Amino acid sequence: MKLTLRVWRQKNADADGAMSTYEVDGISADMSFLEMLDTLNEELILKGEDPVAFDHDCREGICGACSLVINGDAHGPERTTTCQLHMRSFEDGDTIDIEPWRASAFPVVKDLVVDRSAFDRIIQAGGYITAPTGAAPEAHATPVPKPDADFAFEHAECIGCGACVAACPNGAAMLFTSAKINHLNVLPQGAPERETRVLDMVGQMDEEGFGGCTLTGECATACPKGIPLVSITSMNKEWLRATRTSGKR
């Protein structure tokens, strides 16, 4: 396959960026999208140019490191992560636009790499349980009803890639935050911090400068892990519950 790539190039956080056009040839339909970018970078390095910086790690669709808005879609045209997107989803001769996640809470570090530490700080605000550490406890010591376990697991699937923020016209982190809150709030292990968790994490989310939810549903459409839009509804319910009860303690 022969492709034309239009890639966002930006030297550093303070520099102005622009789209640069590159031609790549000899792309196999079986290559992953990142392997295609590797091919481009090899050529750029041989020519003595600066290779395109992009985030990647496991390349198995489970770590959440890869990003990229491809032709206007976070993680490209398939419902998966960029690393699991293959070139068979494109046609020979296509022009592909590649841009970084866009949100003021995710500043561009270089080219296609953005700083997603805002997500870490949301997790630090309450995305954990306070439990004595040591040997793993007996799994059956705390019974969890099957529907609750399924609900928790569905939300635990979030890999924190930030596609929800990138897709949202308001740069909102509601889907990420709700997945993390719902995952723990439904479980008995998460119950002692149920109220503080949702209040603190939503508070941190606002503080990081993410936008608000207008329920466009773009986040859930972009999510490679299929976190549902109704996850946000569940978080709103938890938040309202917490504002009613937390003052009484």
Partner 1 sequence: MTRTMWDSSVGKKTVMAVSGLIMLAYLVVHMLGNLKIFFGSDEFNDYAHWLRTLGEPFLHYEWALWIIRVVLVAAVVAHATSAYQLSRRDIRARPTKYVHKKPRASYATRTMRWGGIILGLFIVWHILDLTTGTVHPDGFQTGHPYQNVIDTFSTWYGNVIYIVAMLALGLHVRHGFWSAAQTLGVGSRARDRALKVTANVLALVLTVGFVSVPVAVMTGVVS
Give the C-alpha distances (Å, rounded to integers) separating 217 from 68, 131, 168, 226.
19, 35, 8, 12
Exactly one of 218, 223, 224, 225 binds partner 1 (CB under 8 A); that residue is: 218
Query: Least distance from C-beta 81 to partner 1, angstroms?
Result: 19
> What six digits make up the tokens of 242?
């917490």
How large is the C-alpha radius of gyration of the chain? Answer: 20
Q: With contacts defined by CB under 8 A, name the span among 60-68, 78-86, 132-140, 213-221 that binds partner 1.
A: 213-221
Query: Least distance from C-beta 166 to partner 1, angstroms?
Result: 9
Query: Least distance from C-beta 99 to partner 1, angstroms?
Result: 6
> What six digits make up the tokens of 117?
């530490």
Rule CB under 8 A: say whether 230 interacts with partner 1: yes
Rule CB under 8 A: say whether 189 interacts with partner 1: no
Site for partner 1 in 15-74 (CB under 8 A): 19, 69, 71-73
Rule CB under 8 A: say whether 5 interacts with partner 1: no
Q: Which is nearer to partner 1, 119 or 239 (CB)?
A: 239
Amino acid letter for position 112: L
Alpha helices in the chain (DSSP H): 33-46, 117-124, 146-156, 163-167, 174-185, 194-207, 218-222, 230-245
CA angle 232, 236, 241 (to 5 degrees): 145
Quick one: which of 179, 180, 181 has its CA closest to 198? 181
Rule CB under 8 A: say whether 207 interacts with partner 1: yes
Rule CB under 8 A: say whether 77 interacts with partner 1: no
How many residues bind partner 1 (CB under 8 A)? The answer is 51
Q: Which is nearer to partner 1, 42 or 150 (CB)?
A: 150
Other Cβ atoms closer than 10 A to 60: 9
Rule CB under 8 A: say whether 105 interacts with partner 1: yes
Residues 6+ apart with CB under 8 A from 8: 17, 18, 19, 20, 98, 99, 100, 108, 111, 112
Amino acid letter for position 128: Y
Rule CB under 8 A: say whether 154 interacts with partner 1: no
Rule CB under 8 A: say whether 160 interacts with partner 1: no
Query: Least distance from C-beta 151 to partner 1, angstroms?
Result: 11
List interacting residues with partner 1 (CB under 8 A).
6, 8, 19, 69, 71-73, 97, 99, 102-105, 168-172, 199-200, 202-207, 209-218, 228-230, 232-241, 243, 246
